[in-house]
Structure 1
Amino acid sequence: MTQTQPQPSSQPPHTPQGGREILFNAFDMNCVVHQSPGLWRHPEDRARDYNTIGYWTSLAQTLERGLFDGLFIADVLGPYDVFAAGPEAALRSGAQIPVNDPFLLISAMAAVTQNLGFGVTAGTAYEHPYPFARRLGTLDHLTGGRVGWNVVTGYLPAAAQNMGQDDQMEHDRRYDHADEYMDVVYKLLEASWEDDAVVADRERGVFTDPSKVHRIEHEGEFFKTPGISVVEPSPQRMPVVYQAGASTRGRAFAGKHAEAVFINPPTKELAKASVQKIRQAAVEAGRDPYDVRIFAMQTVVTGPDEAAAQAKYDELAQYVDPEGGLVLMSGWMGIDLSTFDLDQPIGDVESNAIRSTVETFQKASGREDETWTVRQLAEWVGVGGFGPVIVGDGPTAARRLAEWQDETDVDGFNLAYHITPGTFEDIVEYVVPELQQLGRYKSDYTPGTLRQKLFGRGDHLPENHYAAQFQLRRR
């Protein structure tokens, strides 16, 4: 199939009221400490219940009540053991360990909701795409087409070592491997079964017409997958493709594959620059710049008035675990921060972990001759993790989110929690109504699949997406 080459649109999508609609994902992880080390100790925090089904089903219902577009679930495979060259500090602080499988949460949450989407993280480095594609297609069936896949290439050396490798692949090489991984998944979900392959003919005793199911015959550098998919076409076929890599190579991957991208710059200036580069990458891949929905990380501390919000933030700060913050930063940056003096600046370093993290914090001060110190990193991560923090009542938080969107061109926000589910309950109670008053947030869900909700143009990948060349419909 020949891909169309759209002309870049001059304007982003708008709501009927004329204001830009803000999209919301809740940002969580199947663990005790996701982005705010130490706050699991807060008396109102329920993160310790992460390994119960009730925590997740209750959270999903809260998010749907607040018309959140999705629940974005991060994941890692392996402990954060870069800091002090071992997992001990991560274990003490609970920094993303223990951590359970995110895929097993989705069906239960889908069963108690009707519209909430689910962005689930899974890596391309350690599982063959054949069984993974089956699991992905299964979730798309069970959710009625409300699932997306956050594609990650991995960054923790411990994960590679526990999978029998000396270390992970070199950064850019991981993306080469992921490109082919995507090809296999696309072929299995898009190119194996025709839309009408399942006939369910009781009289003839034929469930599937064999002539309408095709071998994919994939043979590449990394994978050899000759046969057919074992999953019949799901509502979206290929679930929505999320991606979070913001390095130069990561942006090229996003331009080619991603429909939604997660970014986490700490300032508007850095966010705006990142958004421009991602939209340009989409154009270079033959797509419209707004074919990608971009979500910036934010943490919101809010309450019934300004004083209450500030008091809440001050209380939260008392529970911050600086060592846990440095454990996370060491893993994200690929640098053992235990070897630095607390007031030592993070200068020019090479990293095989999340390269964009290093690039971000080398520039975050806004001055080329000034960089962050280790102490500043620890303080920054304390409440809300990597991204910026908004403290204020509902009108203030709503106004600042709208300003972030207007000034950076993001489509929405991945909202991290400080305590859970309290963070999300506060946003639903105080912030969502104010955004609706501003005409910047939906008043109801769009019917249909996650892709239809995000883009309003159908359930399947569009013809200008890279994967369109593999699409197989009725022949």
Structure 2
Amino acid sequence: MASNGVRDTVVPQEKKSLILNAFVEMCSGHQSPGLWRHPKDQSANFNDIDHWVNLAKLLESAKFHGIFIADVLGYLDSAARNLGHTEQPKDDNRYEVAEEYMQVMYKLFESSWRDDAVVKDAEKGMFSVPDRIREINHVGKFYNVPGPHICQPSPQRTPLLMQAGTSKAGKTFAAQHAEAVFVAGHSPSVVAANIAEIREMASSQFGRDSQSIKFLAMFCPVLGKTESEAKEKYDDYIQYGSTEGALALFGGWTGIDLAKYGDDEELRHVESNAIRSAVEAWSKSSPGVDKWTKHTIARHISVGGLGATPVGTPAQIADEMQRRVDEADIDGFNMPYAIFPSSFEDIVQMLVPELQSRGMFWDDYAVPGGTYRENFYKRKGQNVTLPEHVASAYRWKAGVDKDEHSIPS
């Protein structure tokens, strides 16, 4: 109510149509260590092509945006060391390497083949015009790449760029390069500040539309037709969780080895700021936990990993998703499974219809048969990066002589 007694006009914000990705890996269990042993779980069949074809068909039937297939440099042992990289690179160093890597990729994807390099002239026997293809001749601190790109560009040229990591260097990298950023946290407050900071940096430092970067939260719902059914499912799942596996994952994700702490040691009182901060984040989403030990952490990770694992009906889960959108400015969700493929089947059959009924998710692709980027931005013809994205400066456009187009250094 305004001071003059006239009721203020409230302009409702446009409801976001969520971006939904499945989050998987070529392994059993993935974000739910130990649950591959569940009688219904089929995640151990990842070497079977039908495993992936059936998943793609299931998700496409619900109009999911995509499947994010994760990868790692090595595997983790019980002491939480990444055995493929026992000495983790310093944060600034790895992003310095990544920065040059992106330059190489932009040069290959955008500058090596001109937009009109491929002509497919059957009469002349000319698939592409040689003068419209060139070597990139990149010479840098970490990479020496002569080029050219070994094949013609895809319709998207540079693939849609997804990034994870919210360290100081990670935020700067995301603000410049990312089109989507994966965030993880059991409560919206854990990720809200990071999202706001990256959006502000993207706008002020790199001239980007801050809303063009989409933030996807890790989210592994356990669904039931009733609340009690959902809780029964969770109780069934958690009994298969692996404490050792969960702690190894925690160490690999955070760089924190919990093996040196006692089984009953309260982690809110240890000297490590990193551990106390991690536990504090969990405490906000689970205020009823009396004591936080490494086994408490392992239990939280065992179903759904470092992301949220809400348990409830489709309506309750949709409410929780909307809360995260409202409180943290999240644009969508990266969704792992508890058990495969049942978790995705529950999402498709129960949750997606609830989201659609609320206007939180589309009924069909914005661009049926279109590229990932077209549907990501819901713009027909938006195959390449947006004009203000750094990759656009590398683009070798049709009609421009190669001597006239200098590759950014």
The two structures share one fold, judged by TM-score above 0.5: yes
Aligned to 1:227: 147
SS in structure 2 at match of 1:295: strand
Aligned to 2:267: 345
SS in structure 2 at match of 1:338: coil
Aligned to 1:247: 167
Aligned to 2:59: 63
Say which of 356, 359, 371 aligns to 1:449: 371
What is the rounded CA distance, in whole Å, between the counterparts of 1:469 and 1:25 in structure 2? 29
What is the rounded CA distance, in whole Å, between the counterparts of 1:252 and 1:359 in structure 2? 22
1:47 matched to 2:43? The reply is yes
What is the rounded CA distance, in whole Å, between the counterparts of 1:203 and 1:22 in structure 2? 48
1:37 matched to 2:33? The reply is yes
What is the rounded CA distance, in whole Å, between the counterparts of 2:172 and 2:396 in structure 1? 26
Does structure 1 conserve the Cα–Cα contact (< 8 Å) formed by 2:225 and 2:314? Answer: yes
SS in structure 2 at match of 1:431: helix
What is the rounded CA distance, in whole Å, between the counterparts of 1:443 and 1:471 in structure 2? 34
| Aligned-pair CA distance for 1:226 | 2.8
| Residue correspondence of structure 1 range 325-404 to structure 2 within 5 A | 325-342=246-263, 343-345=265-267, 347=270, 349=272, 360-361=278-279, 363-365=281-283, 373-404=293-324
What is the rounded CA distance, in whole Å, between the counterparts of 1:243 and 1:221 in structure 2? 22
1:468 matched to 2:389? The reply is no
Letter in 2 for 1:76: V
Letter in 2 for 1:460: V
Shift in CA distance, 461/416, structure 1 to aligned 2, threshold 3 Å: same
| Aligned-pair CA distance for 1:371 | 10
1:160 matched to 2:85? The reply is yes
SS in structure 2 at match of 1:160: coil
What is the rounded CA distance, in whole Å, between the counterparts of 2:147 and 2:16 in structure 1? 45
Shift in CA distance, 85/76, structure 1 to aligned 2, threshold 3 Å: closer
Shift in CA distance, 276/360, structure 1 to aligned 2, threshold 3 Å: farther
Q: How many residues align?
A: 376
Shift in CA distance, 85/36, structure 1 to aligned 2, threshold 3 Å: closer
| Aligned-pair CA distance for 1:322 | 1.4
1:311 matched to 2:236? The reply is no
| Aligned-pair CA distance for 1:38 | 1.6
Runs (5+) with no aligned partner, structure 1: 1-13, 87-155, 162-166, 352-356
What is the rounded CA distance, in whole Å, between the counterparts of 1:295 and 1:198 in structure 2? 36
Letter in 2 for 1:378: A
Aligned to 2:207: 286
Shift in CA distance, 371/334, structure 1 to aligned 2, threshold 3 Å: farther
What is the rounded CA distance, in whole Å, between the counterparts of 2:225 and 2:273 in structure 1? 45
SS in structure 1 at match of 2:182: strand
Question: TM-score of the superposition, structure 1-length normalised?
Answer: 0.75
What is the rounded CA distance, in whole Å, between the counterparts of 1:197 and 1:53 in structure 2? 35
Does structure 1 conserve the Cα–Cα contact (< 8 Å) formed by 2:92 and 2:169? Answer: yes
SS in structure 1 at match of 2:320: helix
Shift in CA distance, 322/227, structure 1 to aligned 2, threshold 3 Å: closer
Say which of 258, 267, 271 aligns to 2:187: 267
What is the rounded CA distance, in whole Å, between the counterparts of 1:67 and 1:47 in structure 2? 22
1:84 matched to 2:6? The reply is no
Aligned to 2:91: 171
| Aligned-pair CA distance for 1:360 | 4.4
What is the rounded CA distance, in whole Å, between the counterparts of 2:271 and 2:148 in structure 1? 48
Letter in 1 for 2:308: P
| Aligned-pair CA distance for 1:414 | 0.8
Does structure 2 conserve the Cα–Cα contact (< 8 Å) formed by 1:262 and 1:297? Answer: yes
SS in structure 2 at match of 1:441: coil
Residue by residue over 1:231-253, the C-alpha shift from the partner in whole angstroms, topping out at 9 and shown as x without a partner, is 11211011100011111111111
Deviates more, 1:55-64 or 1:212-221: 212-221
Shift in CA distance, 442/383, structure 1 to aligned 2, threshold 3 Å: same
Shift in CA distance, 227/298, structure 1 to aligned 2, threshold 3 Å: closer
SS in structure 2 at match of 1:304: coil
Residue by residue over 1:149-183, the C-alpha shift from the partner in whole angstroms, topping out at 9 and shown as x without a partner, is xxxxxxx3x2236xxxxx34222100000100010
Letter in 2 for 1:414: N
Residue by residue over 1:259-281, the C-alpha shift from the partner in whole angstroms, topping out at 9 and shown as x without a partner, is 01100012111121221122123
| Aligned-pair CA distance for 1:349 | 4.4
SS in structure 1 at match of 2:161: strand
What is the rounded CA distance, in whole Å, between the counterparts of 1:64 and 1:176 in structure 2? 37
Letter in 1 for 2:392: A
Does structure 1 conserve the Cα–Cα contact (< 8 Å) formed by 2:162 and 2:181? Answer: yes
1:418 matched to 2:338? The reply is yes
Letter in 2 for 1:71: I
What is the rounded CA distance, in whole Å, between the counterparts of 1:221 and 1:348 in structure 2? 38
Does structure 2 conserve the Cα–Cα contact (< 8 Å) formed by 1:364 and 1:371? Answer: no
Residue by residue over 1:399-433, the C-alpha shift from the partner in whole angstroms, topping out at 9 and shown as x without a partner, is 22112212211001111211110001001111111
What is the rounded CA distance, in whole Å, between the counterparts of 1:205 and 1:427 in structure 2? 50
Does structure 1 conserve the Cα–Cα contact (< 8 Å) formed by 2:80 and 2:251? Answer: no
Residue by residue over 1:1-52, the C-alpha shift from the partner in whole angstroms, topping out at 9 and shown as x without a partner, is xxxxxxxxxxxxx8xxx42111111111110121111211111111121111
Aligned to 1:301: 222
What is the rounded CA distance, in whole Å, between the counterparts of 2:206 and 2:105 in structure 1? 19
1:191 matched to 2:111? The reply is yes
Runs (5+) with no aligned partner, structure 2: 1-12, 401-409
Residue by residue over 1:322-363, the C-alpha shift from the partner in whole angstroms, topping out at 9 and shown as x without a partner, is 121111112212232211113241655489xxxxx9964465
What is the rounded CA distance, in whole Å, between the counterparts of 1:85 and 1:270 in structure 2? 23
SS in structure 2 at match of 1:287: coil
What is the rounded CA distance, in whole Å, between the counterparts of 1:223 and 1:371 in structure 2? 49
- Structure 1 ranges of 4+ moved more than 6 A: none
Does structure 1 conserve the Cα–Cα contact (< 8 Å) formed by 2:80 and 2:252? Answer: no
Shift in CA distance, 371/236, structure 1 to aligned 2, threshold 3 Å: farther
Question: TM-score of the superposition, structure 2-length normalised?
Answer: 0.86
Residue by residue over 1:283-306, the C-alpha shift from the partner in whole angstroms, topping out at 9 and shown as x without a partner, is 222111111111001111112222
